[in-house]
Amino acid sequence: MSSHGTNLKKPLAIIPARGGSKRLPRKNVLPLAGKPLIVWTIEAALESGVFDRVVVNTDDQEIADIAIHYGAEVPYLRPGELATDTATTLDVLKHQLQYAVSEWGGYDDFVLLQPTSPLRTGQDIRNAWTLYSQHEVESVVAVTEVEHPLQWTYKANDDQTLSPLFDDNLKRSQDCEQHFRLNGAIYITSIDSVLARHTLIHPSSNMGYQMPANRSLDIDEEFDFVIAQSILTHYAKSTD
């Protein structure tokens, strides 16, 4: 188990952004409240003051150009075999971290920031990093409370009848314990966890950084994009 103490070296920020997207084409460069989607994450990372380098990992020249314009680094374009639908985030991270170790050195930890979480703030990043810095855990991951109690979930049978997953499925929501889900916004761990142990979230040594629902949106399709636009417009008006 890691013993971080309070004097951690500044980590790397890695923002993975593939050019292709089946559900929402070119989503990483689509304009959201006046800025390309990926820019919201780059600006939050820079504003947080947590990082030594903010690195965008992409296979796409347009994304690379935008990232560099807004202050991120793009040390290379992702090789073709890592830009397919079958390439995993872990594959991409291993490649990027191997480059960081060989070319830059001196890093112990990194923070994965997905560009599909534009509502996560620089303060969220600072808070999550503080949590990681002050506790002896292998990973910290951003979570949000599930929208409804797990006790209310059912499985659908072949004949479309429903079977409750829990015996206490009629409990009132206020009588149910809290449950949290990953929201995709922030993952913090050591470089060794990915390169040596092949894991992003340690199964037995991790903490959750709790975020509210209004900052936990993960953009996967056009519906999510519309919601994000609405949230940003609403909060911009409320602060005028």
**107 found inside a domain:** yes
If one counts the domains in the chain, the total is 1
Whole-number Å distance between alpha carbons of 211 and 32:
21
Full residue range of the structural domain in which residue 195 is found:
12-145+179-238
**120 found inside a domain:** yes
Pull the structure tokens for residue 168.
């206490």
**209 found inside a domain:** yes
**24 found inside a domain:** yes
Residue 9's contacts (CB-CB under 8 Å, 6 or more residues apart) are 52, 106, 107, 108, 109
Task: Find the CATH number of the domain harbouring 127.
Answer: 3.90.550.10
**Phi (first) and psi of residue 118, to 5 degrees:** -75, -15
pLDDT tens, the chain, 240 aa long: 455 655 678 999 999 999 987 778 899 999 999 999 999 999 999 999 999 999 999 999 999 999 999 999 999 999 989 988 888 999 999 999 999 999 999 899 999 999 999 999 999 999 999 999 999 999 999 999 998 888 788 899 999 999 988 776 656 666 677 889 999 999 999 999 999 989 999 989 999 999 999 999 999 999 999 999 999 988 776 655
What DSSP letter does each residue of 63-110 carry, written as one string?
HHHHHHHTT-B--SBPPGGGSSTT--HHHHHHHHHHHHHHHT----EE
pTM value is 0.91
**173 found inside a domain:** no
**159 found inside a domain:** no
**168 found inside a domain:** no
**87 found inside a domain:** yes
